[in-house]
């Protein structure tokens, strides 16, 4: 049980570090790092939601960025209409734009979940390689859809001019925004943790290992897997809504499959089938990108082979290396 203790203390100190980070940064004067770490938290959130699929239920979705993009576009489109003072649509009822974070962020979650429901219900009819390719293809479909959507900037995307407003918070202030991201991430991890160990979680973890057995037990695995797919999509949508606020800009690039691939890389780097690992993975990936990019614009030529080596030799990821314990048994 000492490995549990070690893991808990690592998670606790990591969490504490994230909580006091803004103070440390303002002491050191590198204010830039606040927004970098906000980005890390947001990508961490997206990566955790992806890990629910990859690590806990064995569904290899290669189109997870689509839901990040949907979430981001929901925030951006509502913002756009609010600033143009033009309703989104007038039939069957009038829907006005909005900059209210308490409205648009939940909407980002909801609408991403809805897309995940429709796409997931089709994708989950398939298995294995088919599933991988189809999730990818649907994400690309949304990508091309937004590229051709001239009304919202097409290929060039949309700018936001400011962040959403939440009563009692000033999201324009990077420190406030940082804590919003941290809070969202922690809430999502907490929810995910309950989920993974609940009866529902037991079923989906079982599906990842042996779906045929699940069916022999009398469980229609399809609806459970679909529910998890929707929950993961919702988490990604929240990340997208935050990301739109962080950069104050959205473009179809957010849905591009390379972003889906990078989210996968973060999960793998951090530790598959763990809830804190993906956050660590996101931090490492973005920090490496940031720092390598300072020395060479061709950082990917190093990142690529490094990734291959990690896959072949270090399957448990960084979280597994530092925290011990078994893969998938947090």
Partner 1 sequence: MLLVIEQFLNGLQLGITLFLMSAGLTLVFGIMQVINLAHGSFYMIGAYVGATVAAASGSFLLGVAAALPAAALCGMVVEFVVLRRLYEREHLDQVLATFGLIMFFNELTRIIWGRQPLFMEVPLWLGGSVELLPGLVYPVYRLAVIGVGLAVAVSLWALFAKTRLGMQIRAGGVNRKMVGALGVNIKLLYTLVFGLGTLLAGLAGVMAGPILAVESGMGESILILTFVVIVIGGIGSIRGAVAGAVLVGLVDTLGRAFLPAVFRMLFDSSTADSVASSLASMAIYILMAAVLVVKPKGLFPAHS
Partner 2 sequence: MNDKIMEVKGLNKAFGAVTATNDLSFGIDRGHVHALIGPNGAGKTTLVNQLTGDIFPDSGKIIYNSQDITRLKDYRRAHLGIARSFQITHIFENLTVGENMALSICAHSGHNFHFWRHSLRSGIVKEKLEGALGRVDLAHRRHLKASHLSHGEKRQLEVGMALTGDPELLILDEPMAGMGPGGTIELSKLIEKLKGTLTILLVEHDMDVVFSLADMVTVLVYGEAILTAPVDQVRKNRRVQQAYLGDGW
Which residues sit at the interface with partner 1, rule CB under 8 A? 54, 60, 62, 122, 125-126, 128-130, 132-134, 136-138, 140-141, 144-145, 147-151, 257-258, 261, 264-265, 268, 272, 298-301, 303-308, 311-312, 315
For residues 52-76, one letter each, b for 16 or more C-beta atoms within 10 angstroms of the residue's C-beta and e for the rest, the string is bbbbbbbbebbbbbbbbbbbbbbbb
Q: Give the SS3 label for residue 159.
A: strand
CB of 245 to partner 1, least distance (A): 26
> Per CB under 8 A, does 328 bind partner 2?
yes
- Output 132 or 227, the one with its CB closest to partner 2: 227
47 Cβ neighbours under 8 A, 6+ residues apart: 263, 266, 267, 270, 278, 279, 281, 282
CB of 150 to partner 2, least distance (A): 41
Q: Say how far apart CA 79 and CA 98 lie, in whole Å.
A: 6
Sites for partner 2 among residues 110-139 (CB under 8 A): none
First to last CA, the chain: 12
> Per CB under 8 A, does 203 bind partner 2?
yes
Binding partner 2 by CB under 8 A: which of 227, 310, 314, 322? 227
Judge contact between 175 and 168, C-beta under 8 A.
no
> Per CB under 8 A, does 244 bind partner 2?
no
- Output 14 or 328, the one with its CB closest to partner 2: 328
- Output 115 or 178, the one with its CB closest to partner 1: 115
> Per CB under 8 A, does 170 bind partner 2?
no
Q: How far is CA 300 from the centre of its chain?
A: 22
Tracing tokens 């980070």 back to the chain, one arrives at 21
Binding partner 2 by CB under 8 A: which of 195, 284, 314, 322? 195
> Per CB under 8 A, does 209 bind partner 2?
yes
- Output 211 or 248, the one with its CB closest to partner 2: 211
CB of 120 to partner 2, least distance (A): 16
For residues 26-50, one letter each, b for 16 or more C-beta atoms within 10 angstroms of the residue's C-beta and e for the rest, the string is eeeeeeebbeebbbbbbbbbbbbbb
Name the token pair of 190.
Answer: 């907490």
CB of 281 to partner 1, least distance (A): 12
Instruction: Select the span of 23-31, 207-215, 238-246, 306-314 touching partner 2 (CB under 8 A).
Output: 207-215
How many residues line the site for partner 2 (CB under 8 A)?
28
CB of 247 to partner 2, least distance (A): 32
Among 319, 280, 188, residue whose Cα is nearest residue 242: 188
Q: Can you list the alpha helix ranges (DSSP code H) found in 29-152?
A: 32-51, 57, 65-84, 101-123, 128-147
CB of 136 to partner 1, least distance (A): 6
Q: Say how far apart CA 20 and CA 36 lie, in whole Å.
A: 15
Please give the residue ranges that form the binding site for partner 2 (CB under 8 A). Answer: 194-195, 197-203, 205-206, 208-210, 212-220, 224, 227, 326, 328-329
């Amino acid at each position: 049980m000492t490995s549990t203790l070690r893991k808990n203390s690592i998670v606790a100190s990591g969490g504490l570090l994230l909580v006091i980070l803004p103070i440390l940064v303002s002491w050191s004067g590198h204010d830039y790092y606040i927004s970098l770490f906000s980005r890390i938290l947001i990508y961490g959130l997206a990566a955790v939601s992806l890990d629910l699929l990859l690590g806990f239920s064995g569904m290899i979705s290669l189109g997870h960025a689509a839901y990040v993009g949907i979430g981001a576009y929901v925030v951006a489109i509502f913002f756009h209409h609010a600033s143009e003072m033009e309703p989104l649509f007038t039939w069957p009822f009038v829907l006005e734009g909005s900059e209210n974070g308490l409205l648009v962020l939940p909407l980002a979650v909801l609408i991403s979940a809805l897309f995940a429901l429709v796409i997931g219900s089709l994708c989950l009819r398939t298995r294995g390689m088919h599933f991988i390719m189809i999730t990818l293809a649907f994400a690309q479909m949304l990508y091309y859809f937004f590229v051709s959507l001239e009304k919202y900037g097409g290929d060039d995307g949309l700018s936001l001019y400011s962040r959403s407003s939440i009563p009692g918070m000033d999201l324009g202030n990077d420190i406030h925004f940082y804590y919003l991201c941290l809070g969202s991430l922690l809430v999502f991890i907490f929810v995910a943790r309950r989920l993974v160990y609940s009866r529902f979680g037991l079923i989906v973890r079982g599906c990842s290992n042996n779906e045929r057995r699940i069916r022999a037990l009398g469980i229609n695995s399809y609806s459970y897997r679909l529910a998890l797919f929707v929950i993961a999509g919702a988490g990604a949508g929240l990340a997208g809504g935050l990301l739109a606020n962080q950069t104050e800009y959205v473009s179809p690039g957010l849905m591009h499959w390379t972003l889906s691939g990078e989210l996968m890389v973060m999960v793998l780097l951090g530790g598959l089938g763990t809830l804190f690992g993906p956050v660590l993975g996101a931090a490492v990936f973005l920090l490496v990108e940031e720092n390598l990019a300072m020395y060479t614009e061709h950082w990917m030529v190093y990142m690529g082979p490094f990734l291959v080596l990690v896959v072949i030799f270090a399957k448990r990821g960084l979280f597994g290396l530092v925290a011990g314990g078994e893969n998938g048994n947090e």
